Structure 1
Amino acid sequence: MKMVKISKCIATLVISVSLLGTTSISSATTTSLTQQEKEQYYKQYMKIVEEVMQKKIGIHIEVPPMEQFQPEDWIEPKAYETRVQNIVDDYLTAERETLNALSSTTNKVVTNLNGETTKTAYIYIPDIIGEIEVTGKFETQYNAYHDRQVFRKLENISTQAVSSGSTWEQTSYEASLIDGGRTYSIRIEGIYSLNGLSNEKAFTIEFHCDEFGRIF
C-alpha cells in the first residue's frame, strides 16, 4: 500500500494519485484573501473533507495545517470540493473496475452444521484487495403467497479478515430485507489494517435464499 501526499492544498491521502501542479481549475485560485476570509475558506475545506471521510469508502484525506498553504493554494470552496470529488470519483472507478474483474467463482459460500453461513467479500484499498469473511445465522420460513422459502430473520453478523498480514475490526452493520424477503442486503463498516496503515471502510454484501431455503 502506498502513502503519498496529494498536494499541499488538498491533503495527505492513501492512494496512488498526485495533484501536484494541477492547473485545471487555477482560474479559481484566490491570492488576495484577508486572514478572516482564509479562515472561513479553511473551515469549509475541513467540512468538505469530513463529509467525504464519513462515507468510509477506503481512502484517507486530511486537510493540511493552515500555515502550510501558499497564496496560490487558496481556491474557492466550490473548486476545492470539485478537486476532492475528482479524487473520489477516480478512486471509485478504480474500485469498481478492480472488483468487477474478480471472477464470480471466487465468491465462496459455506454453511456449517450450526446453520451459520459464511460468504466471502472483497474490499478495495489502493493497490490491494482485502478478503473479508462475512458470517451470519439466518432463519427462513415458507411463504404461501410466494409459494417458496423466504428469510424470516437474521441473528447476527460477524466478520474477519483472511488476507495474509491484514486485520479487520468490524464497527457496525445494518441489514435490510429486500426482494420480497429473498435477499438480505447488509452494509458493514469497519477498520482494515495492513502494513501499519489503517483505513475506515464500508461495503455492502448480499445473502440470498432460494426456494428451498438454501442460503447463497
Structure 2
Amino acid sequence: MPSSLIGLVALIFVAVPGYFYLVRYERRGLRERHGSVREIAELFAVGAFVAVAVGGSLFMLAEVVPGLATLEGIVSGYKYLQSHPWHLARSACLLFIFSAMTCAVLGDIRGRKRSDSNLSNHPGTVWTDLLQTPRGESDPIVEVLMDDGTRVHGRCHMVSLERDIAQRDVALHHPVAVQAPGQDLATASPADYVIIPGGLIRLIQITTLRDVDSA
C-alpha cells in the first residue's frame, strides 16, 4: 500500500473523530474560539489521543477474540495483511466507529461541564439577557461605541445570536442619534432602524428604565 494512501487513511481516522468532538462540544456548551490554527490542533490532538487509546484496546481484545488484527501481525508486515485482509478491515472499522463515538461522548461531557459552571456559556447569553426587553420594562436605551470612535444612541430592537461576536450585529430603533468622533453632541437621525455590525462594536452601554405604567 502506498505510503501516501496510508497517510490519508490515518488522517481520516484522526480528523473525523476529532471533528465529532468539536461539534458535540459546541452543541452542549459555548466553546471559546481561539483561531482556526488552534482549533485544528485541538481537533487532531483529541482525535489522535482517542485513536491511540481505542487502537490499544482493540489490540488487547484481539488476543482473546478471533477475527481481529493483532499487534504482532501488524508489526510482522505485508504478508500478514495479505493473508488476513478481513482481520484488518474489521479492526479498522471498529477503530473508526469506537473513536468517533468516544470523541462524541467526550465532547458532550466537556460541553455539559462548561455549561453547568457558575458562568453562563450559552450562545449569546450575555448579549441577549442584557439587550432583550425585560417584562415590565421599556426597550433598553443603548449607546454603542464603534471602533472608529463613533457613538450611536437608540433603543435596542434586536441582537443576532451568532456564536462569533464579530457577526453578532445589534439593531437599534427610533429615536436614533449619531455622535461622530470629535463632536460634543449627538445628531438626531431620521432612520427608524440602524444596524451596527458586531465586528465594529467596541463597547455597549445599556440603560434600562422601568415602565412606570407597568410597575
Q: What TM-score does the superposition give when structure 2 sets the normalisation length?
A: 0.26
Which has more helix, going by share of residues?
2
Higher relative contact order (CA 8 A, sep 6+): 2
> TM-score scaled by structure 1?
0.26
Greater per-residue strand proportion: 1
Q: Larger Rg: 1 or 2?
A: 2
